[in-house]
Amino acid sequence: MFMLWEEHKKLIVKIKHVLFPICLVVLYIIYLYFVLSYEHHNGLLIRINEVTATNVMNKLFFDFFNSSLIVIVIIGLTFNRDMSLYNLGLFIPNSICA
């Protein structure tokens, strides 16, 4: 038996709200892997005998930039497309928030 169009739309919305965040997490894990391997190969990690104020500040700056880059991209996409987080599948309203 065939599902009605409205039921198909509800199913697509449910799938979007599950798959999109999972895909974002997987992409973020891949991104972090490449960032950390880049830092490791270029000697940007701090060794125990090289702790100085400059090294710590550089590490804090790179960590802040690397961690917030994905968030900035997501926020940029939402503002660029004039879409809400609900339409992107990143927010599911519940009775507590409503």
Burial class (CB in 10 A: 0-12, 13-18, 19+), 21: middle
pLDDT in tens, 31-90: 889 988 988 898 777 777 778 888 888 888 888 888 888 788 877 877 776 666 666 666
> How far apart, in whole angstroms, are the C-alpha atoms of residue 35 and residue 40?
9
Residues near 85 by beta carbon (within 8 Å), at least 6 away in sequence? 78, 91
Question: pTM (2 decimals)?
Answer: 0.58
Side-chain half-sphere exposure of 35, counting CA atoms within 13 A: 16
Contact 59, 44 (CB under 8 A): yes
